[in-house]
Each structure stands twice: as C-alpha cells, then as structure tokens.
C-alpha cells in the first residue's frame, strides 16, 4: 500500500499526520496547486501529492536543502548521511532524489531548490493548499506566513505542522502563526495531533 511505502521513507512526517495531509490535499487541491515550504527528503510532499492526484494537481515543494537549525552538526536532528563533506554542509537533495525514486507511481511532485522568502517574491499562481513546515524560528515562521498566505485562494487551506500549545512540548513559533491565522480570516477546519488545517475565508 502506498501509505506504507511513504511511511518507510526517511523524514519527519509520522504516518497518522501524513494521512491527514493526504486527505486535506485531496479536498483543497480542487481549488489549485499545493505548495509546501520545507521539503527535507520529500516525505510530506509525497503524502500531499498522493492526495492531489485526485484533482490532477501538482505539489510544488520548496527547500534550500541546507537543513534547518536542528539539522546542523551537534544539533538534535543532525544526520551524518545528509552531510556533504565536499560542500562542508548539510545537503538534503540526494535524500530527496532517493525518496522520490522509491515512489515512482507518484509523479506530481515538483521540487524547487531555493529560499522560500526569495521564491515568494516571484510566485504568481493561486494556491489551493499551503503547507508550512520550514524553519521553526519565530522570524522564519512569521516570514512564511506573511510572504505566502496571501497567495492562498479564497476557500483554500493553510496547513501548519508542529503545533504545541505547551512550550514544554515544543517550540512556539508554529503555534504563534496558527493563532495569527485565526485572527486573519482563517478558521480551523480540522486537526490531527500536531498538524492543523485552516480554511481561508477572506480574499
Ligand atoms: C522540518 S524539515 C521539513 C520536513 C519535511 N516536511 C518532512 O516531511 O520530512 C524543515 C525544512 O525546511 C527547510 N527550510 C528552512 N528554512 C527554509 C527557507 N527559508 N526556505 C526554504 N526551506 C527552508 C530546511 O532546509 C528543512 O529541510
């Protein structure tokens, strides 16, 4: 089964949240394409893409592939196999390529290698579903929300990962942009564990 194949890949999307992504993508991609900020190895991209297939839609997934703060040497989620000694840095492009090639039946993922702040300046298309799963610093999460949310179509969805109401359980930046969205014309549509799906009611 496709879900089990995606679940076996290296990445940061647990199966129960991935299934929710797949479901929301199937619903909201009828409004337009899916955009993801924070590809890593493409695990969440593949869940989103399997849902978007229902509407013959594409998932554009954006990452500079240098890794986030927690992926760097000596940090909690450093993975030596993603470290390219010749470049002297983390590079998750090979992991992404490996993962995508294991799921050839899902052919509607288009990776964009670049900084989401820069890409946003040139992005023209309306978005059916935006998934924010990039850097979790306060500044980055705010940038991702402010740069991208206006491109979501009316009736489309904003999905945010790693929502922790309790600061002892996790960083607060995703929760802060979740609260900001609730004050900016979005309402909660659904939630699965730490991942929320908001529906856009303005614009
Ligand atoms: C938590 S990981 C994403 C996990 C992924 N969604 C999965 O399912 O495994 C966050 C990713 O965001 C990327 N990232 C951080 N800041 C970024 C930025 N400004 N632009 C693009 N990508 C960024 C990092 O390189 C990292 O790969």
> Rounded to whole angstroms, how far apart are CA atoms 177 and 11?
23
- d(CA 68, ligand 1 centre) in Å: 6
Tens digit of each residue's pLDDT (9 = 90 or more) over 12-61: 999 999 999 999 999 999 999 999 999 999 999 999 999 999 999 999 99
- d(CA 203, ligand 1 centre) in Å: 27
**Whether the Cβ atoms of residue 178 and residue 186 lie closer than 8 Å to each other:** no
Tell me the residue length of the chain.
Answer: 203
Residue 123 confidence (pLDDT): 98
User: Closest Cα to atom 11, ligand 1: which residue?
Assistant: 38
Q: Which two tokens stand for residue 74?
A: 């000596």
Q: Domains in the chain, ordered, with CATH?
A: 2-200 (3.40.50.150)
Q: Which two tokens stand for residue 20?
A: 């929710």
68 Cα nearest atom in ligand 1: 24
Adjacent-strand bridge partners of 54: none
Residue 138 confidence (pLDDT): 97
E strand segments, 32-96: 33-37, 59-63, 83-84, 89-90
Residue 203 confidence (pLDDT): 85
Choose the residue to mutate in 39, 119, 173 for probing ligand 1, maximizing ligand atoms within 8 Å of C-beta: 39
Pocket of ligand 1 (CB under 6 A): 11-13, 38, 40-41, 43-44, 62-68, 92, 115-117, 133-135, 140
Q: Single out the residue of 4, 27, 135, 118 nearest to residue 72, CA to CA.
A: 135
pLDDT beneath 50: ranges in the chain: none
Helices (runs of H) and strands (runs of E) counted in the chain:
7, 9
E strand segments, 114-193: 127-132, 152-160, 186-192
Q: What is the DSSP string of 17-43?
A: HHHHHHHHHHHHGGGSEEEEE--TTSH
Active-site positions? 136
């Amino acid at each position: 089964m496709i879900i089990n194949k995606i679940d076996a890949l290296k990445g940061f999307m647990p199966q129960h949240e991935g299934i929710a992504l797949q479901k929301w993508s199937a619903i909201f991609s009828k409004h337009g394409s899916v955009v993801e900020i924070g590809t890593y190895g493409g695990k969440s991209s593949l869940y989103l893409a399997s849902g978007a297939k229902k509407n013959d839609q594409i998932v554009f997934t954006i990452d500079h592939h240098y890794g986030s703060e927690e992926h760097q040497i000596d940090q909690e989620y450093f993975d030596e196999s993603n470290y390219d000694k010749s470049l002297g840095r983390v590079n998750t492009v090979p992991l992404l390529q490996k993962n995508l090639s294991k799921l050839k039946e899902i052919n509607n993922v288009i990776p964009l290698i670049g900084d989401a702040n820069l890409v946003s300046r040139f992005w023209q298309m309306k978005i059916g579903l935006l998934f924010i799963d990039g850097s979790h610093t306060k500044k980055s999460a705010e940038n991702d929300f402010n740069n991208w949310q206006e491109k979501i179509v009316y009736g489309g969805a904003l999905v945010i990962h790693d929502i922790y109401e309790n600061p002892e359980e996790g960083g607060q930046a995703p929760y802060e942009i979740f609260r900001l969205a609730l004050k900016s014309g979005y309402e909660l549509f659904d939630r699965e564990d730490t991942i929320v799906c908001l529906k856009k009611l303005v614009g």
